[in-house]
Amino acid sequence: MAVKTANKKKTLVIVESPAKAKTIEKYLGPSYKVKASMGHLIDLPKSRMAIDVDNNFEPEYITVRGRAKLLKELQTDAKNSEEVLLASDNDREGEAIAWHLQRALSAKNENLTIARISFNEITPQAIKAAVAAPTTIDNAKVNAQKARRVLDRLVGYNLSPLLWKKVKNGLSAGRVQSVALRLICEREKEIEAFIPEEYWTLEVVFKTGRTTFAAALVSWNGEKPELHTEADAQTIITALNGAVFTVKDIRETDKTLRPRPPFTTSQLQQTAANRLGFTSKKTMQVAQQLYEGVVIGGSPVGLITYMRTDSVRISQTALDEVRGWIGGNYPDCLPEKPAFYSSGKQAQDAHEAIRPTYVKYTPDEVKGSLSNDQHRLYSIIWERFVASQMKAARTRTLSADISPENSNPDAIFRVSGTNVTEQGYMKVLKVLAPKEEKGSVFPPINKGDKPKLERFNPEQHFTQGPARFTDAGIVKTLEEKGIGRPSTYAPTISVLLDRGYVSRTNKQLVPSVLGKLICDMLVEHFGDVVNADFTAGMETGLDEVEGSARNWPDMIRDFYKPFKVRVDEVGSRLESIKGTLDEKTDQVCEKCGRPMVKKLGRYGYFLACPGFPECRNTKSIPLAKCPKCGGDIVARRGRGKKFYGCVNYPACDFLTYFLPLPDQACPKCGWFLVEKYDKRNGSQKACINPACDYLHSGA
C-alpha cells in the first residue's frame, strides 16, 4: 500500500455501519476518511411496485426517504477525495449497495476513481490487504440481488393486494415468508391431529453392598417389551416377584466423538437458540457487534469473521494460527494434520466459516470488554472453532444385563455407565460442553454377582406428538429444504412475528388464527408458489444468476407470466370474505348496549362494539367456562404476566397460567383442557382439574 503524503487529498472509504467505520478508520490512519452509508441509500419505493414488467422487469430506483441528505454528504465528500473505495459487505446486498453508490457518486463526479474492496474480517491485516488490492463491482452478484428484489416485489405486490381485497386490510404475503408460514401451520395441524397413546416402562431398583441402582427392562420373553397399560406392567412384576437376579453379562464399548466443524450462519443461530436461548434476530444483532468491532485495551477490534455464510472453509492463515495456539496450550490434543470440513451442496462458499479473528483472544481474556450477551455468543464461536482443529474425544461405556436365575421367566434388565477416557477437543468446551463429558456412573458390579431386588418402578408415559418449531427448528428446516440463504433466516422469522401471523410462546413458534387463515388461502390458490420445492428452485436460479450461468430477466419472465395469469384468475373468481369474519354475538356492550361483534384482529379473535368510532369498547373472547362458578374464562394480565381468569373476579378467584383450549373439554371429568409445557415433554394437552389424571403433567 502506497504511503500518502500530507498535501494529498484523503481516500474516502464507504462502509455500511458507523461502528464498522470507526474501527476501520482507526486501522487505516489519517490519510483515509471512513463514512457509513447506513445500509441502502437507493432502493425501490415502498408505495408502489415500481417494476416495468413490459421492459425486461427493469426496476425503478429512488433515493430512500430520509436518506437524501446523507447521499448528498457522501457526494460532497467524494468530490473532495482523491479516490473512493466502496467497502460494503461482501454479499449480494452489499454488492448492490456498492453498485448504487458508484452510480450516484459518478453522476456528480465524472472523473472520480471509484473502486470496490471487500474483506471477510475486520482486522488491520485484512483491511490493509483489501485497500492494497481494489477490484471492480461484481455485476453478476448485483444482478442476483436485483433478481431477488424484483422477484420478491412481484410476489408481494400481487398477493398482498389480493389479500386486502378478499380478506382484510393490512395483510401481506411474501415469497419466502409464506413458505415458512406454511411449514409452521402444517406442523400445527399435525400437533392438533395427534392423539397421545399411553405406555409404561419398568425399572428394577437393585442393591449391592451400600449401592442402589436402577436397571431398565429391555427384553421380555425374547422380544422388546410393549407395555400399553398398567396391567401389562403389573403382569411382569407379578411374574418376577421373588426372583433371584444374576449379572449375566457385562460389555465394554469404546466410542470416538469427533469435533464439529466451525459455524455457518444457520448452525450459529441453531446453537445460540438451544444453548443460550437467543432468538435468530438477537443472534445476528450480537454477531454484527462482534464483527464490526468492540473496544479491547483501548482499541476497537473486530472479534469474529463475517457472520453471514454457508461455508465451513477456513483460511490457511487461520489454520496456522489455531494450530499454533493448540500446540502451545494443549499439545497432546493437536492432531498431526489440520482437519478440513466439506460444506453442503447448496453452499455458495463466498465467505469463510464464522470464527474468531484472533484465537489469542480467549473468552476469558475478553470477558471484561464484552456485554454478557456478546461474551456468551463469542464463547460458543471461539470454542466451536478451536475444538474443530483438535483431536477427537473417546468414551467407554459399560453395560450390564441382569436377569432372573435360569432365565425363568425370560427377562433382561440393563444398566449402563459412560466415562470419557480421552477428553480431546472437550478440553476447550465450557459453554458447549457435551453431555458425554459429565458421564454416568456404572454400579460396582461384576459378572456373576447377585444384586438384591429392592423394588419395582413402573412408570406411566404418553407418546409425544411432533414438536412445534422453535427459531432453531425452523432455521434448520429452511436450510435443509434450500429455502432462503444465510442473510434471510432471521428476517423471515421477524416478518412473521411482526405481521401477527405467528407468536412466540415458550420459545416455540405458534401460528395465530390470522396466520392459519392466510396460509389456507394461499395454499388453496397458490400452492405451487408457496411451496418448499418451488422456492428452493428459485434460490437455485438466483445462484445461477450470480454465477453468470443465467440471464436474470429470463428467470423472472419464466416465473411471472403464469403467476400473473393465476393472480388475475383468482382475483376475478374468488369471493371476498371481507366482513364475513365479523360474527354477531349475544354479548352486550356494557358501555352503549349494542350487541358486540366477534372480530379477527392481528393477534386473534376479540369482541368489539359495532358502534365504532363512537364507542371503542373491546373485550377478550371467552375461552372456557369456569369450573368453580360457570363464568367465562378470559385472557388477563397482571404485573406484566399473562394469565387466564374468571370474569366474576373477585367473587370468583379461579385462575390458571396455562392456555385454555377453546371448545375442548376433558373426556374424563368435563373440566376444560389446557396446553401445558415443560422442557422435558414440550407442549401437551392436559386437564386443568388437579384431581383428574387425563394427560396430567403435574405442572
| The CATH number fitting domain 270-388, selected from 3.20.20.70, 3.90.79.10, 1.10.290.10, 3.40.50.970 | 1.10.290.10
pLDDT at res. 133: 95
In this model, does residue 389 exceed pLDDT 80? yes
Domain 11-137 CATH assignment equals 3.40.50.140: yes
**Domain range 198-258+393-462, CATH class:** mainly beta
Kindly name the residue from 306, 489, 560, 644 that is annotated as catalytic: 306
Name residue 182's beta-bridge partners.
none
270-388 shares the fold of 145-193+467-573: no
- Which run of H or E residues covers position 599? strand 595-601
Task: Tell me the per-residue pLDDT of 335-374, one tens digit each, with 9 for 90 and over.
Answer: 999 999 987 666 555 689 999 999 999 999 999 999 999 9
Tell me the three-class secondary structure of 345-407, residue by residue. Answer: CCCCCCCCCECECCCCCCHHHHHHHCCHHHHHHHHHHHHHHHHHCCCCEEEEEEEEEEEEHHH
Show the cell assigned to 150. Answer: 424484483
Four-residue CA torsion sign, 157, 158, 159, 163: positive
| Cβ contacts of 659 within 8 Å, gap of 6 or more | 505, 623, 644, 674, 675
User: Are 172 and 158 a contacting pair, CB within 8 Å?
Assistant: no
For residue range 526-583, list pLDDT tens digits in order: 998 999 999 999 999 999 999 999 999 999 999 999 999 999 999 888 876 666 666 7
Q: What is the dihedral of CA 216, 220, 226, 227, to 10 degrees?
A: -70
Three-class SS of residue 299? strand
- Mean pLDDT (whole number) for 410-425: 95
Pick the CATH number of 145-193+467-573 from 3.30.470.10, 1.10.460.10, 2.60.120.380, 1.10.10.60: 1.10.460.10
pLDDT reading at 648 higher than 50: yes
The amino acid that residue 30 corresponds to is: P
Query: Is 306 a residue of the active site?
Result: yes
pLDDT at 72: 96
Angle between helices 489-498 and 471-480 in degrees, nearest 10: 130
How large is the average pLDDT for residues 474-496?
92
Cβ partners under 8 Å of residue 54, min gap 6: none
Residue 688: exposure state from Cβ atoms within 10 A (0-12, 13-18, ≥19)? buried
| pLDDT tens digits for range 214-269 | 999 999 999 999 999 999 999 999 999 989 999 999 999 999 999 999 999 999 99
Percent of the chain with pLDDT over 90: 66
Lookup: cell for 343:
460444506
Domain ranges of the chain: 11-137, 145-193+467-573, 198-258+393-462, 270-388, 582-621, 623-699
Higher-pLDDT residue of 192, 458 = 458
